[in-house]
Structure 1
Amino acid sequence: MGWRARLLLMDGLLPVVDERGRLAWGSLADADTEAELVFFGLDDGRPCFAAVPGRGDASPRMANPALWAAMAALPADDLALYGGARSLCDWHARHRFCANCGGATGLAKGGWQRDCQQCGAQHFPRTDAVGITLVEHVDGRLMLGRGKGWPEGRFSALAGFVEPGESIEEAVAREVLEESGVRVRDVRYVASQPWPFPSQLMIGCHAIADDDALTVDTSELAELAWFTRAEVAAAMAGEPGARFAKPIDQAIASHLLRWWLAR
């Protein structure tokens, strides 16, 4: 007996949740008749699809409070599933034309490829590597920053894209130097996380700084400061009067801060 295919319900690229706070599902009949359908796996033998929206989302990640609220409320397994579907559908919505010749592209291999209908070029979903780093001063304080456009009091680890020709360690050292004016050493890998804004692989690292003089890159950051272990612990515990607000629990920055406190 075959299993009925399921469609992940989304409002554009926003997740739709049911009365239990879980991702909502429908059937393929719920999709727009002209929408491209992306296959992203089997769930207990049932094929699972998502519909590509009319437009992608190139807005800054902090520009959609509804999305952040939804992601913060989703269970971990639903968040992982939604993140993959969102990244893939967003890529399709923003790559309907060939970068080689400008011709129209069409979905191929169940949605894990797009082929140009004019020159035959094949295009594949991209994943952008981002180094996100806890910078620890030799005296035990931690450097955290607040990005431009972020809510007041919301601090996180410094992050930046890995550029062509760089190792992760080189990217971390360059990004920290550019944003803070501080040189770091002893960069080590901690953990990684896929992040659908729009399709990143966050590479969590830790590094040591000998100097604490900060030169803030105001084109990237609104604030930059050093925090003691007690201040970080208070923020992560959500204590009233904490010096900063912690990242959402689902973000790798939150995992990195918990890891640092537990060392």
Structure 2
Amino acid sequence: MTARKNTLSETPPRLIFTDLDGTLLDHHSYDFGPALPALERCRSLGIPVIFNTSKTLEESQALARELGIEAPLVVENGSAIWLPASAQHATEAARGKIVVLGARRSDLVGFLHALREQEGYSLQSFSDWDSATLAAHTGLSLTQASSAQQRAYSEPLLWQDTEHAFLHFQSRVQRAGYRLLRGGRFLHLLGQTDKGRALRWLCDHYHGLWGQAPRVMALGDGQNDSAMLEAAQIAVQVRSPVHPFPTLSRASTNARVIQTQLCGPEGWNEAVQAWLDETQ
């Protein structure tokens, strides 16, 4: 699905930012089938659908190819933005480039392992597991699990210690200049960035390309999506079968907040179709 360039006749042009697991993809099966009608409609209208995910670049590119999407990819919870080699989505100087907003994984893993050794925390992270172990934790295939381990800017982990120990751990992470985000399955250790910062960077990027500020919808189901939702004009909290809607800070968002009735890709399709009906 190749997005065409928005024109000045569209007032304003539109962007969709979406989480993947539990949002565009079913939480249990990773199926995206129910979202295909709205995805096809976005393609026909030339609206870029931008993945904004905790997944790796390799995982995100594979899914984008499967869906026929050519648009920027925000990976590892806002840690990096990949710009495609297309004049529709990037200036000539930026095409095919990666913009790093976060920290390097090697630094994060070194810090995490040293802290675990010093404090005796009970935790495991992706760097401790082979592909088979990760597949067992996530339900991914071995090939998909291998792609999920190709991280460059973050480190997912399972906390297995007490709440008291976690508060101490969180304090140490913050003092080191890093941060923690809670996703659907894992905690994510990363640099000083999030999905909202990446969304704002890309909105500025498209504003420069199009000469108009875009109207933005963001969709997510997890707490690590909150910053992205708060940065959009239309914030869609996608219903999850396993956890509550992500909380938003009402003081920090001017977004119109929508909660879907359906879960995952069914809810995604529901919300996007309704928005397109409103803005045609």
Normalising by structure 2, we get a TM-score of 0.21
Normalising by structure 1, we get a TM-score of 0.22
Q: Which has the higher helix share?
A: 2
* Higher Cα radius of gyration: 1
